[in-house]
Amino acid sequence: MGILFTLPVAALIGTLLLIPIGQTVYYSFTNWDGFTSQWIGFAAYRHLFQNPEFVTVLENNAVMVLAIPIAIALPLGVAFLLNAQLRGWKFFRSVFFLPTAVSWVVIAFVARRFFDPDKQGILRSLLDHTGLGFWHPDLLAHEHSALIAVMITFIWSVFGTNMIIFLAGMSTIDQEIYDAAKVDGAGSFMVMVKITFPLLKRFVQFAFVISLITAFSALFSLIIVMTNGGPGYGSTTLEFFIYEQAFTENNFGVGATAGVILFLLVFAVSMVQMRMLRSDE
Amino acid sequence: MSTITWAERRSLAVWRRRGSKVLVYVALLAVTVIMLYPFWLMGQASLRSLPQYYLGRGFSLTTWHALFAALPIGHEMLNSTLITLSSILVILAVSTTGGYALGTLRYRLSGLVFLVVLASMMVPVQSMIIPEYINLAHLGWINHYYGAIAVYSALGAPFATFLMTTYFRRLPEDVIEAALIDGVGYGAVFFRIMLPLAVPAIVTVAVLQFIQIWDDLLVGLLFLQTPANRTITVGLETIPAQHFQNFPMEMAGSLVSALPAVLVYLIFQRYLIRGLTMGMSK
- A160-186 pLDDT, tens digit each: 999 999 998 888 887 777 777 777 777
Sign of CA dihedral B78, B84, B88, B94: positive
Q: Does B120 touch chain A (CB under 8 A)?
A: yes
At residue A180, the pLDDT reads: 79
Per residue in A140-157, pLDDT tens? Answer: 888 888 999 999 999 999
Residue A39's DSSP bridge partners are A30
- In this complex, do B126 and A18 lie within 8 Å of one another by their Cβ atoms? no
Residue A30's DSSP bridge partners are A39
Q: Does B211 touch chain A (CB under 8 A)?
A: yes
In sequence order, the 6+-apart residues with CB closer than 8 A to the CB of B94 are A8, A9, A12, B153, B157, B160, B161
Residue B128 banded pLDDT, cuts 50, 70, 90 = very high
CA A220/CA A237 separation, integer angstroms? 9
At residue B280, the pLDDT reads: 58
In sequence order, the 6+-apart residues with CB closer than 8 A to the CB of B230 are B76, B79, B220, B224
CA A242/CA A24 separation, integer angstroms? 11
Sign of CA dihedral B140, B144, B147, B151: positive
Number of alpha carbons in the 13 Å side-chain half-sphere of residue B87:
32
> Considering only CA atoms, which of B251, B225, B222 is closest in space to residue B239?
B251
Asked if pLDDT for residue B282 goes beyond 50, the answer is no
CA B33/CA A256 separation, integer angstroms? 42
Instruction: Output Rg (C-alpha) for chain B, integer angstroms.
Output: 26
CA B75/CA B73 separation, integer angstroms? 5
Residue B85 banded pLDDT, cuts 50, 70, 90 = very high
Residue A279 banded pLDDT, cuts 50, 70, 90 = low
Phi-psi region of B240 (alpha: psi -120 to 50; beta: other; left: phi over 0): alpha
Asked if pLDDT for residue A100 goes beyond 70, the answer is yes
Asked if pLDDT for residue A204 goes beyond 80, the answer is yes
> Considering only CA atoms, which of A24, A21, A22 is closest in space to residue A44?
A24
Chain B interface disruption, residue of A5, A81, A122, A248, most B CBs within 10 A: A5
* Contact call for residues B255 and B42 (beta carbons, < 8 A): yes
Domains of chain B, first to last: 6-63 (no CATH), 72-278 (1.10.3720.10)
> Mapping DSSP to helix (H, G, I), strand (E, B) and coil, where does residue B60 land?
coil
Mean residue pLDDT across chain A = 88
Tell me, what DSSP letter sits at residue B129? H
Residue B1 banded pLDDT, cuts 50, 70, 90 = very low
Q: Looking at beta carbons, which residues of chain B come within 8 Å of A259?
A: 124, 126-128, 130
Distance from CA of B264 to the nearest CA of A (A): 8
Chain B interface disruption, residue of A106, A226, A281, most B CBs within 10 A: A106
Please return the burial class of A145, using the count of CB atoms within 10 Å of its CB with bins 0-12, 13-18 and 19+.
Answer: middle
Of the candidate CATH numbers 1.10.260.40, 1.10.3720.10, 3.50.50.60, 3.30.230.10, the domain formed by A36-280 belongs to: 1.10.3720.10
Distance from CA of A109 to the nearest CA of B (A): 7
Nearest residue of chain B to residue A102 (CA atoms): B258
At residue A108, the pLDDT reads: 94
Distance from CA of B102 to the nearest CA of A (A): 7
Please return the burial class of B168, using the count of CB atoms within 10 Å of its CB with bins 0-12, 13-18 and 19+.
Answer: buried
In sequence order, the 6+-apart residues with CB closer than 8 A to the CB of A192 are A80
- The mean per-residue pLDDT over the stretch A75-104 comes to 89
- The mean per-residue pLDDT over the stretch B155-166 comes to 93
The residues spanned by each domain of chain A are: 36-280
At residue B38, the pLDDT reads: 92
Burial A37-49 (b: 16+ CB within 10 A, else e): beeeeeebbeebe
CA B183/CA A111 separation, integer angstroms? 61
- The mean per-residue pLDDT over the stretch B53-63 comes to 85
Q: Looking at beta carbons, which residues of chain A come within 8 Å of B213?
A: none
Spell out the SS3 assignment of A37-49.
Answer: CCECCCHHHHHHH
Which amino acid, one-letter code, is at A210? I
* Contact call for residues B85 and B153 (beta carbons, < 8 A): no
Helical pair A201-217 and A52-65, crossing angle rounded to 10 deg: 150
* Contact call for residues A112 and A225 (beta carbons, < 8 A): yes
At residue B71, the pLDDT reads: 87
Per residue in B13-45, pLDDT tens? Answer: 776 777 778 888 999 999 999 999 999 999 988
**pTM score above 0.80:** yes
- The mean per-residue pLDDT over the stretch B89-95 comes to 96
